[in-house]
Structure formats: C-alpha cells, structure tokens
Amino acid sequence: MTPLLADIGAVGLYLLFAWLLSAIAASWLSNRAGYGERLGLGTGLLLTVVGALIWVVIYLFFPRPGSPRAVEGIRPARRSVADG
C-alpha cells in the first residue's frame, strides 16, 4: 500500500505552480495599479487564475492616480544599474 500523500503526481504539481504563479502575478499587478500587494495576493490565492485575470483588467483600465502604472504607463520603466 502506497502513502496517499505521495500520489498527487505531476498534474497536482502543475496545478500548484499555476496557483502560486497566479498569486504572484495578481500581487504584482495590484501593487503597480496602486491598490497594494495584499489585495492582489488574496485575490490570486483565492481565485487562482481568474484572480490574476481580474487584476489584468484592473491594471489596464482602472489604475489609481499617482500609481506606478498611471505614471509610467502599461510597461514598467527599465532601470539601469546606475539608477540603483
């Protein structure tokens, strides 16, 4: 008899990676849009890929005034080594 905890397989690992990457993406997008990292992280963890897609829409169409997204535009400014 094999332990049940070791039988999640490759599909479970890929789903875990998708869950974590969507949380990272939602957190980054919400921070750049001016809403803070915690709101995006919670949305990304609870709603998985749908949460990240929600933040893509918010990032593109509803950034807060003065946020990095509103100031720099959709693509973040590249920093050089001299800028620090």
pLDDT, tens only, 35-60: 999 999 999 999 989 999 999 999 99
Residue with tokens 């897609």: 53
pLDDT score recorded for residue 9: 81
Number of H-type helices and E-type strands within the chain: 3, 0
pLDDT, the chain, mean: 88
Answer whether 0.85 is exceeded by the pTM: no
**Residue 3: pLDDT over 90:** no
The first and second tokens of residue 56, run together, are 């893509």
The first and second tokens of residue 16, run together, are 């875990």
Confidence of residue 20 (pLDDT cuts 50, 70, 90): very high
Q: Closest Cα partner for 40 from 66, 59, 60, 62?
A: 59
